[in-house]
Amino acid sequence: MAGVGRNGKDEKGAVRATAEIFSQHGGFIHAVLRFQAGTRFDSEDLFQEFFLVLIHKPVPPDVRVIRSYLYRAIVNYVIDLVQKQVSCERHLKKYVAQTRIFINNRPSKNAFVEEEERNARVAYLVRHLQKREAQAFALRYRDHRSIGEIAERMGVDKRTVSRYLCQGVKKLRGILAVE
């Protein structure tokens, strides 16, 4: 029985049906994913992962308004992702609190020198950004401020700060790839 998965479903048929949905409604799916996920996730990755979600849980045949179904499925998908991310962060914080082992923070022989080097790198990078992006980037990576603290200090919404950081990082990736 070629093409039949472990659960007895026709996998090739599910892939074809999902591919057809994506060819007809790909722009809509992409737009809803970008809107729902904001800057918290990469919308291209979500687009591909949502394709896999629809393969494993296809659109029921009795659905009359496909866009309404897709919208609700995308919203639920993003909500699940956010809940998983929050849960993971909570567990990570518990781990750090219990073990006193800090993730991505190695002990230093000369913390002052490392701090100065990091500040110099941040200053170099900030010169390539627009004013607001540079301000958000410096507050985040030089001053170790949270998104909420940065938003309050800059007088903007948290999503705006996230957008500044995301745009700044994308620009810097492009700049560093060329250098």
What are the boundaries of each domain within the chain? 11-99, 111-178
Residue 2: pLDDT band by 50, 70, 90 thresholds? very low
Check: pTM over 0.85? Answer yes or no: no
Contact by Cβ (8 Å): 128, 175: yes
| Cβ–Cβ < 8 Å for 85, 42 | no
Please name the fold of domain 111-178: Arc Repressor Mutant, subunit A (1.10.10)
pLDDT in tens, 111-128: 566 677 777 777 777 788
CA nearest neighbour of 29 among 46, 5, 11: 46
Percent of the chain with pLDDT over 70: 80
89-148 residue pLDDT tens? 777 777 666 655 554 555 445 656 667 777 777 777 778 888 998 888 888 888 888 989
Count other Cβ atoms within 10 Å, centred on residue 77: 20
**162 vs 168: CA distance, rounded Å:** 10
Q: Note the pLDDT of residue 5.
A: 47
How much is the mean pLDDT over the chain?
80
Confirm if 133 and 171 have CB atoms less than 8 A apart: yes
- Categorize the per-residue pLDDT at 167 as very low, low, confident or very high, splitting at 50, 70 and 90: confident
